[in-house]
Amino acid sequence: MQVTLKDFTKTFDDMTVIDKMNLTVEDGEMLALLGPSGCGKSTTLFAICGIHRINGGQILFGTRDVSNVPSQKRNVGVVFQNYALYPHLTVSENIAFPLSVRGDDKAKIEREVRAIAELTHIEELLARRPAQLSGGQQQRVALARALVRKPDVLLLDEPLANLDAKLRLEMRSEIRRIQLETGITAILVTHDQVEAMSMCDRIAIMNKGEILQIATPTDMYRAPVNKFVAGFLGNPPIVMLEGKASGDGRFIVNGGAGLPLPSRLANIPGDTPLSLGVRPEHFGAAGASQVSGTITFVEPQGRETLFDVTLADGVVLRSIQPAREDVALGHKVAWPLDAEKLLAFDATGQAV
Amino acid sequence: MTRNFSAWPIYALLGILSAPLAVMYLFLVIDTFTNAPPGSLIPNEFTFHHWRFLWDASVTGDVWGPTATTFLFATTMVVIVLAVSSTAGYAISRLNLPFRRFFLSGIMVMHAFPSVTLIIGVFLVLQFAGLYNTLIGVILVKASLMLPFGVWIMKGFYDQVPWEIEMAGVQDGASRFTVWRRLILPQVTPGLLSLGIFAFIDGWSEFMLPRILAPSANFQVLSTYLNVVSDPNSTTYNFNLFKSVGLFYTLPILVLFAVFQNRLMNIFGGGTKG
Amino acid sequence: MRTRTSLLGLGFVSPALALLFAFFLMPVVLTTVFAFTNMSTATGITGGSHVITGNLLRDLGNAGIDNDVITALGEASFSVTSETLAAAADAGVEPRFLGEIEARLMGQNFEDARSFESALKSLPSRPTRIRELKLATEPFERSILNTRYASRADMEAAITSMAPDAPAETISTIAEASYTGWRWIDGGNFQTLLDRPETIRIVLNTVFYVAATLAFNVFVGLFLAITTFYLPKTGAGFFSVLWLLPRITPVVLYAVMWKWFTWDNGFLYVIAEQLGLPAFNYMKGSVPTAWATIILVNGFVGASFGMILFSGALRAIPIQQLWASEVDGASRWQQIRQIILPQLRWPILFVTSYQTLSLLSSYEQIWLTTNGGPGSTTTVWALEAFNTALNNYTGNLEYGMGAAMALILVAVGLVLSILYLRMFRFDELVNKPRIEF
């Protein structure tokens, strides 16, 4: 089922948090609403599932306008951050609840609960109570309960935030597998770029109540529309250098030396204020230009090592490379910079 | 707990301060089973004599009738308080109501407000409503005077149920009533139990309302019964007997208190009646 | 956007609203209204009727009402109407005789008993015995004296029929004076309170009672909370249960226990006797001991309130703070004064303000123990209001006056409780519903 937001507007006590937002989620697609806390992504989710009333615009499921339809009649499945399992009911009663509310007969409920439990791999947990489950198991139960009545849309509100690192990895692929198997349209709300990139077909990145860019994860990583998106995606984060174009295809860092610009920007006029974004993986691996400096920080991460390199003029670049021990703190190094992959932004922060 | 200080000076101080209470409660129990010679406090005789009022109605009049009435009084009131508080508490905790803030402030003012000052007004209301001197009138008044407390306590319990449970229920297609009935109410049963026990003890102990609002009614509760029985101005007053009747009257409360002490502490602390 | 009112919510609050309206709001309204009346047992509660009594006539005469009118009102008359005939039939007058009366005398009026009797004697089937004849006349007697008229208009009509010549103003004055129900007396009750010499005494008693009991409650509550905080679990548990007992003990039994403790031949009495100290009924025998008794009776109940709240606040203090202070070499007293007490500031303020209000209005324990005695030395405002309105041994309960006294407490209570609400920011506990549908 396609989900469309048209000029969606939401205010709280006269404060407009989302103003005329437009978004289309294609049928069967999994889309991430990614953004820092307070950016309006959860508000959007709550509006879609019918917990919040919208103040303007429309929400369409397919062609049906659900803007004024209460949650009970929207047929949306939601997985909450804290799972919101009913503590006094067993797992199977939890999953059966949406069906029993609907008035399905016992045999059908039994059958459906079995089927969904099989899909989510929780058959052996059905008799337990939520308090007896691990975080990952609770997550699966919440997913099963959200899916059991075959909703048109599945909404996931920070579903992995309460899990420890190892489980998070496991559930990431589990949720994606289940979404693909059921073919349901899903919206994932998260502040974690890794989750968004690894689980979703497309990402809508939000800040301050606005969608900045909607794109596939790779496109967004490679070609962010502005500085915010560039900074939000990528770990370790991109290094932003403020400066201006030299006029001959180079970039002058404020109060310092120059760095090469990508060739597509060769014709940019001199003195144009620019921000140059250097991702750590684009410095120290390959590239035409050489940049030399002193290693001022080393952070071994096991498989990789992260270096800070301070250039002669005080500019600090970051580099991530496969683990190496041949260089150490204080060493002088000259590493290649992949100028073609550098990102440049104008004074307003938009990509150029 | 910090252990760097010795405990005995504290015990001594506490002991002195608590002595009157200890003496009164100790002798409350001892005196019902013993006799002491005149002018002495130390019992010299063990006896069940003081308890004969239980089977011999000629001692103080029938005690079982008032006991039954007291039970009826307390349980009816508990049912009303629980039913009304659990619904109103939910509404002001969770539902969209006009003047919700105002209503809640009103509840809090009424809660802090000393309701005994209203007794004259309540008396007049009952007179006008024709409920003066009736059991149902006293029950309604007692339950109503407890309501601000009950609603306040229940609101507190509802506030602690995560909103997500409620949201999940709504998403699962349940109406708000079903959500309340099947999902939320089970989460606040500890609250209902505490409030119920508290209200029962309060109703069981109530003296003023039956005494004032139903003085010449054809029923008696144990409090008014004990009050009539234990008149020390009577020529043959007998504290051993008074205490036996009193202990009999208080026994259910003591049992409830012993069993549910921790729950009651929450209510005593959270609900600010004192 | 406006969130829609939840019908379920309205349904859920309406029982509470109905009960609170009936037993909170209405009592406040009625207390306020009747504080300005002279309502008492004599006037009744639901309103009175109009009656002219002999006493009233005398008073009216003294007040300058025309003597002719008063004489006219004092007289009886006899009239034959369908009503009086029915009354006579009920009284058992012989039917044939009654038939003749109806046939011959219907609609006639007789100024006095003699003329009516002579008219009756002229009837064929009159009773032979004089006594019977006199009995038969009685139902026909119409006197305004001691007859109840439901409304003022009825009374005025009756007066007009008895004294047709009376001026309208006089009729109105008499009708007004004949009302037996309660009347508006404006601030009369409050004026009386101001004029009474006891008022100041009761106010002072109340202030003393509240201040002394409050001090006991707060200090003992603090003491109990802090000491039990330092004790091992079993010891602390024993004392907190002991101090909680008065709170759950029914007040009647609690009063009996105190009576035993302080009464003639009671516990203190026997001890004092054995020690050669003055032994008497401490509860009622002297003013200082009576005061001590009621302060302790209330204090032993109230202290546990402070104990519970303070203990809760104490447990909320991070234990590391105490360990740290001990490592820093603080003595126990320094620890209490410099670490614990400052953190109990708000609970102490709360207990103080909350109990001020409840002590101001409480009288149950006093009623059941000293009952304000000896004399009225321990009578507080709330007890006096209650006694005036509802518990007066002379039998005439002055509801209006009692309501006036209660109204003062109600006003103080409302102001203080709203003040506390603001002070402790209880209104911030209100959260907006998060489901907007």
What residue of B is the nearest CA neighbor of A77? B171
Chain C nearest CA to B24, separation (Å): 6
Q: How confident is the model at residue B274 (pLDDT cuts 50, 70, 90)?
A: very low
Contact (Cβ atoms closer than 8 angstroms) between residue A243 and residue A253: yes
CATH 2.40.50.140 is held by the domain A239-345: yes
On whether any CB of chain C is under 8 Å from the CB of B122, the answer is yes
Q: Which fold has domain C190-431?
A: MetI-like fold (1.10.3720)
Question: Given an 8 Å threshold on Cβ–Cβ distance, is B167 in contact with A51?
Answer: yes
- Which ranges of A148-192 would DSSP assign to H, the alpha helix? 165-182
CB B186 to CB A149 under 8 A? Answer: no
B249 vs C: CB within 8 A: yes
Which chain A residues are Cβ-neighbours of C3 within 8 angstroms? 53
Instruction: Specify the domain boundaries for CATH 3.40.50.300 within chain A.
Output: 3-224
pLDDT > 70 fraction of chain C, expressed in percent and rounded: 98
pLDDT, residue C3, reads: 62
* B interface test, pick of C2, C5, C7, C8 with most B CB neighbours within 10 Å: C8
Convert the pLDDT of each residue in B96-140 to its tens digit: 888 888 888 888 888 878 888 888 899 989 988 999 999 999 999
pLDDT on residue C429: 63
Q: What is the DSSP letter of C129?
A: S
Three-state DSSP at A227 gives helix
Residues of C in contact with A54 (CB under 8 A): 1
Pick the CATH number of A3-224 from 3.10.450.50, 3.30.450.20, 3.40.50.300, 3.40.718.10: 3.40.50.300
* Res B233 pLDDT > 80: no
Boundaries of every domain in chain B: 69-227+250-268
Mutation pick from B30, B77, B96 vs chain C, by most beta carbons of C within 10 Å, is B96
Q: What is the pLDDT of residue C317?
A: 85
Q: Does A76 touch chain B (CB under 8 A)?
A: yes
Cβ contacts of B13-20, under 8 Å, gap ≥ 24: B13/C223, B13/C227, B14/C224, B14/C227, B14/C228, B14/C231, B14/C239, B17/C220, B17/C223, B17/C224, B18/C239, B18/C242, B18/C243, B20/C261, B20/C296, B20/C300
* Chain A residues with beta carbon closer than 8 angstroms to that of C434: 51
**Stretch B52-63: mean pLDDT, rounded?**
84
Query: Is there a contact between C437 and A55 if contact means CB atoms under 8 Å apart?
Result: no
Q: What is the pLDDT along chain A (352 residues), one digit of tens a residue?
A: 899 999 999 998 888 889 899 999 999 999 999 999 888 899 999 999 999 989 999 999 999 999 999 889 999 999 999 999 999 999 999 999 999 999 999 999 999 999 999 999 999 999 999 999 998 899 999 999 999 989 999 999 998 888 888 888 888 999 999 999 999 999 999 999 999 999 999 999 999 989 999 999 999 999 999 999 999 998 889 999 888 888 777 888 876 777 888 888 878 888 888 888 999 999 988 887 888 889 999 999 889 999 999 988 788 899 999 988 888 898 998 899 888 888 999 888 888 8
Q: How many CB atoms lie within 10 A of CB A305?
A: 18
Q: Is residue A53 less than 8 Å (CB to CB) from chain C?
A: yes
* Predicted pLDDT at B236: 66
Number of H helices, E strands in chain B: 12, 2
**Chain mean pLDDT for chain B:** 87
pLDDT at A132: 94
Judge whether residue B3 has pLDDT over 70.
Answer: no
Q: Is residue C103 less than 8 Å (CB to CB) from chain B?
A: no
Domain with CATH 2.40.50.140 in chain A: 239-345
Which residues in chain C land under pLDDT 50? 1
| Residue extents of the structural domains in chain C | 54-177, 190-431
Looking only at the bridges linking them, the beta strands covering A153-157 and A185-190 are parallel
Single-letter code of the amino acid located at C373: G
- Cβ-nearest to A84 among B168, B175, B182: B168
| CB-based contact A53 C436, cutoff 8 Å | yes
Q: Could you say which of B162, B169, B173 has the minimum Cβ distance to residue A82?
A: B162
Min CA distance, C2 vs chain A (Å)?
Answer: 9
Per-residue pLDDT at B271: 47
Predicted TM-score (pTM) of the model is: 0.84
* Confidence grade of residue B273 (pLDDT, cut at 50, 70, 90): very low
pLDDT at site B13 = 86
Tens of pLDDT, residue by residue over C276-297, are 888 888 888 889 999 999 999 9
* CATH code linked to domain B69-227+250-268: 1.10.3720.10
Cβ pair A51:B183 closer than 8 A: no
Residues A16-74 have pLDDT tens digits of 889 899 999 999 999 999 999 888 899 999 999 999 989 999 999 999 999 999 889 99
Among B113, B120, B254, the strongest candidate for a mutation testing the C interface, having the largest count of C CBs within 10 A, is B120
CB pairs under 8 A between A and B: 60
Contact A70 C437 (CB under 8 A): yes
- Strand, coil or helix: what is A59? strand
Q: What confidence tens digit (pLDDT) does each residue in C218-275 have? A: 999 999 998 888 888 888 889 989 999 998 999 999 999 999 899 888 889 888 888 8
A63 touches A233 (CB < 8 A): no
Distance from B92 to chain A by nearest Cα, in Å? 18
Contact A53 C434 (CB under 8 A): no
